[in-house]
Structure 1
Amino acid sequence: MEQLSSALDGLQMKLSQLAERLEASGFTLGSNWEYDHGYYDYNLPADGTYYFLRIPVKTTGIGEIDDPDALVSVGTPLVLGHQYQRSLDDHANIGNLSASFNQFQEPEDKDTTIPDDIIEAAKQKLAEAEVLFVRS
């Protein structure tokens, strides 16, 4: 994981305004959101490893993440890497009931080293997103 300095860090606005700008830049609200916080992710293409530029957001006490009028605060953006196993999963021998809840392969390295070119790509994408906030 690598944190990135950003003009977005600490920004407060309505979730709908934030979402409109980030989604226009290719970010999506990750499915792992909770009512008081969530993460806007941008998938950085790479071979064999998933890298994401992640922008955390949390509510400031007014509304919840599923409410477009919620007031949110942006946290420090970061780059994450997850390298998935190329071979069979070590825990693949499970029953049907367990498999219905745990459908995903365990990462080979869930906090893999992030190459410099991926960090630079993340910084460039973050700069593109920041421009959408400066113009308003």
Structure 2
Amino acid sequence: MKLEATGIEGLVIKQKPLHHILNKAGFIRGGQWDYERVTYDYKIGSPEKNITYYVRIQGYAIEGEVDSGTGVFKMLPPLLGRHYYPHGVEYGEQEGFSQDLIDRANKLVAKAAEDIKKHQEVV
């Protein structure tokens, strides 16, 4: 599910401060990056068996590349997803996310956006 009005979409930031800010907030950059896109996930456990939720913050390079560490990224809309073991993560509205979970995800992203704004690049 796309998270709306979090303040992060469209922000532009260099890779090193982005990585520092999101790691400090508990987001992990996994292996799901390529030369132009970067993805950070925040894992939220669930009492349901074999269910885990993820808040995903992603961006694409408008300068440089991810592997060089010198990229400048424009942030994309964040997502809330539900992981089904062993099949993968689903991000659809039909996943039935609770309002508490949506509120928690929005707060996480809004806080990250607030910190990113302090280091935002002028394009």
TM over 0.5: yes
Which residue pairs with 2:34 in the alignment?
Answer: 34
CA-based RMSD? 1.9
Q: Is the 8 A contact 2:11 2:117 kept in 1?
A: no
Scaled by the length of structure 1, the TM-score of the pair is 0.73
Which residue pairs with 2:18 in the alignment?
Answer: 18
Which residue pairs with 1:91 in the alignment?
Answer: none
The equivalences for 1:95-110 within 5 A come to 105-106=86-87, 110=90
Q: Is the 8 A contact 2:3 2:106 kept in 1?
A: no
Compared CA separation, residues 37 and 135, structure 1 to 2 (3 A): closer
The one-letter code matched in structure 1 to 2:61 is: T
| Alpha-carbon distance, 1:11 to partner | 0.9
Deviations 1:69-126 (A, max 9, x none): 1111110111111233xxxxxxxxxxxxxxxxxxxx235x845322211111101212
How many Å separate the matches in 1 of 2:83 and 2:55? 12
Indicate the SS of the match to 2:66. Answer: coil
Q: Is the 8 A contact 2:40 2:58 kept in 1?
A: yes
1:113 to 80, 96, 113: 96
Residue identity (%): 25
How many Å separate the matches in 1 of 2:6 and 2:30? 20
The one-letter code matched in structure 2 to 1:57 is: G
Structure 1 portions without partners, runs of 5+: 85-104
The one-letter code matched in structure 2 to 1:78 is: L
Q: Is the 8 A contact 1:5 1:77 kept in 2?
A: no
Scaled by the length of structure 2, the TM-score of the pair is 0.80
Structure 2 portions without partners, runs of 5+: none
Q: Is the 8 A contact 1:81 1:113 kept in 2?
A: no
| Alpha-carbon distance, 1:25 to partner | 0.6
